[in-house]
Amino acid sequence: MTDADTTTTTADWQAWQKSWDRQQEWYLPDREERFRIMLDMVEALVGTAPRVLDLACGTGSITARLLARFPEATSTGVDLDPALLTIAEGTFAGDERVSLVTADLKDPDWRAKLPYDSYDAVLTATALHWLHREPLADLYGQVAGVVRDGGVFMNADHMIDETTPRINAAERAQRHARMERAERDGVLDWSQWWQLAAKDPVLAEPTARRYEIYGEHADGDMPSAAWHARVLREKGFAEARPVWCSPSDTLLLALK
């Protein structure tokens, strides 16, 4: 793992992790259930000591839950966001089971930065909707190249079925009403969380660099689960289907 800068030792990394969790749960009330099912399927298909690639790892939310459940697992976290990686570095400092890699998933050579050629499982959550369909399809092909035979890829994200517009509208209206109630109770949204990070003496500089990379936000596409499953099969996976869903979210599993 990359050594954290000495100035980062003053930060309360667990507090930042909890703050990130609360902000994410504002959007995803079933977030922990998603993680539980994800790890259930890891155990079912590749066992309890997997080598995992945490793709677009952010603060390391998947890695933290992976290691808490499977102490013999190892994880490589890859991301481009300097602020979220700073939190991840502080959180996992000294843990030899974790390595963190700075890489742009739109760079076709990002896999060259990984410490291993293959992984038992590649896991990602609430991240790849930042990519449009074409680069996402390309990424799926690259992911297929690092998942070993018999290994798994799982993507938990917003996957919108455009054939059900009335259902989608009703779900969205209900979800936003719930979010507005939570915000009145003091829950931070995405923008407010980043404003807080920008004022922190440790995170201010990496947050500024993060905005240089991404801007305010960079939404890509949110195609249906059927699209994801079809493209994953086309890119080299033998099987692919949803293994969990909520009204707005899907956990899609692909088996090599």
Q: Dmax of the chain from CA atoms? A: 53
Give the pLDDT of residue 27: 87
Q: Say what the pTM is.
A: 0.93
**pLDDT tier at 194, thresholds 50, 70, 90:** very high
3-class DSSP assignment, residue 145: coil
Tokens (6 digits) for 240: 């692919």
pLDDT at 62: 98
Write the DSSP assignment of 150-211 as a string of letters: EEEEEEEEE---TT-HHHHHHHHHHHHHHHHHHHHTT---HHHHHHHHHHSTTTHHHHHHHH
Q: Give the residue among 188, 124, 187, 133 at the shortest CA–CA distance from 160.
A: 133
Examine the pLDDT at 205 and tell me if it is beyond 50: yes
The better pLDDT of the pair 58, 8 is held by 58
Element (H, E) at 29: none
Task: Return the pLDDT at 220.
Answer: 77
CA distances from 134 to 62, 121, 161, 226 (A): 26, 23, 18, 16
Q: Does pLDDT of 6 surpass 50?
A: no
Q: Give pLDDT, residue 3.
A: 44
- If you average pLDDT over residues 147-152, what whole number do you get? 98
pLDDT, average across residues 250-254: 98
- Backbone φ, ψ for residue 16 (5° rounding): -65, -40
Q: Is residue 87 pLDDT above 60, yes or no? A: yes
Phi-psi region of 58 (alpha: psi -120 to 50; beta: other; left: phi over 0): left
Q: Model confidence over 208-224: pLDDT tens digits?
A: 999 999 877 666 789 99
Rounded Cα gap, residues 42 and 38, in angstroms: 6
CB 99 within 8 A of CB 67: no
- CA separation for the pair 130, 113 (Å, rounded): 21
Task: Please state the rounded mean pLDDT for residues 74-97.
Answer: 98
Lowest-confidence region among 96-100, 116-120, 187-191, 231-235: 187-191
CB atoms within 10 A of CB 48: 12
H or E, element range at 100: strand 98-102
Residue 77 has pLDDT above 50, yes or no: yes
